[in-house]
Amino acid sequence: MNAPRILVFAGSLRTGSYNLALAKAAAQQLEALNAQVTLLDLADYPLPIYDGNLEQASGVPAAARTLHTTIAAHQGVFIASPEYNASVTPLLLNTIAWISRVNENGGKLAVFGQPVFALGSASPGYYGGYRGLLALRHLLTLTLHSQVLPQMVTLSQAHLAFNEQGQLKDEAAQNMLQEMAKQLVKAAHTVK
Ligand SMILES: Cc1cc2nc3c(=O)[nH]c(=O)nc-3n(C[C@H](O)[C@H](O)[C@H](O)COP(=O)(O)O)c2cc1C
């Protein structure tokens, strides 16, 4: 069986981001299951705030078109994103908005229907970003027709969660991440 291609990224640009730490920990788990992982940083794909006038004048920025092509080349996607005010971060929402305007490979939005998605969130608070993941799940499934795994990874008290090597200290949290990785690899095998 070929190694499934899995894209991993975080919905935060913050230096020391707990969600980037979670994304990296997920990438390690996925690689341990023989997945072919691409870990990308949205800082390398800067995008202006979506504006219909800008799109009309200059089209979709190259960074969004590259992200669209990158998603299309993967069978699974893991997003680790903080919740901001119990919802999706502006960074992630804006990135998804621009990608959804790329009219290639089956038309707008089609790319979100191809890979299987899995979601995670880390927060210093007690909810672990769970409410933001519900908003992200809603966005992906309802409007973008994505398949999103039921298993979600939420990490509360994230400022205490990682050791100096970037590994999760808590065994229950490690198990939750490992289970998500297993399910994502399994589901990604069913995607062309
Ligand atoms: C505008 C804003 C809104 C936030 N809203 C929430 C929230 O609703 N729930 C929560 O748990 N944390 C919230 N936080 C705190 C973030 O979880 C915290 O900053 C976290 O470290 C961000 O993730 P990162 O470490 O990956 O950058 C908010 C932070 C900001 C800047």
Does the pLDDT at position 30 exceed 70?
Answer: yes
CA atoms within 13 A on the CB side of 91: 18
Find all residues with CB under 8 Å of 11, minimum gap 6, and list them: 19, 42, 79, 80, 81, 82, 88, 89, 91, 92
Question: Which of 68, 154, 150, 61 has the alpha carbon at shortest distance from 104?
Answer: 68
Separation between Cα atoms, residue 110 and residue 104, nearest integer Å: 8
Pure H helices in 43-107: 52-58, 62-72, 90-99
The average confidence (pLDDT) of the chain is: 96
> Rounded to the nearest 5°, which phi and psi values hold at 48?
-70, 165
Domain hosting residue 54, numbered range: 5-188
Gap from CA of 21 to ligand 1 centroid (Å)? 14
Q: How many domains does the chain have?
A: 1
* % of the chain exceeding 90 in pLDDT: 94
Q: What is the mean pLDDT of residues 168-183?
A: 97
Q: What is the mean pLDDT of residues 140-169?
A: 96
Q: What is the mean pLDDT of residues 158-186?
A: 96
Gap from CA of 126 to ligand 1 centroid (Å)? 11
Where residue 164 sits, what CATH number does that domain have? 3.40.50.360
Residue ID of nearest Cα to ligand 1 atom 18? 123
> Residues near ligand 1 with C-beta < 6 Å?
12, 14, 17-19, 82-86, 123-125, 127, 129
Does the pLDDT at position 2 exceed 90?
Answer: no
Gap from CA of 2 to ligand 1 centroid (Å)? 38
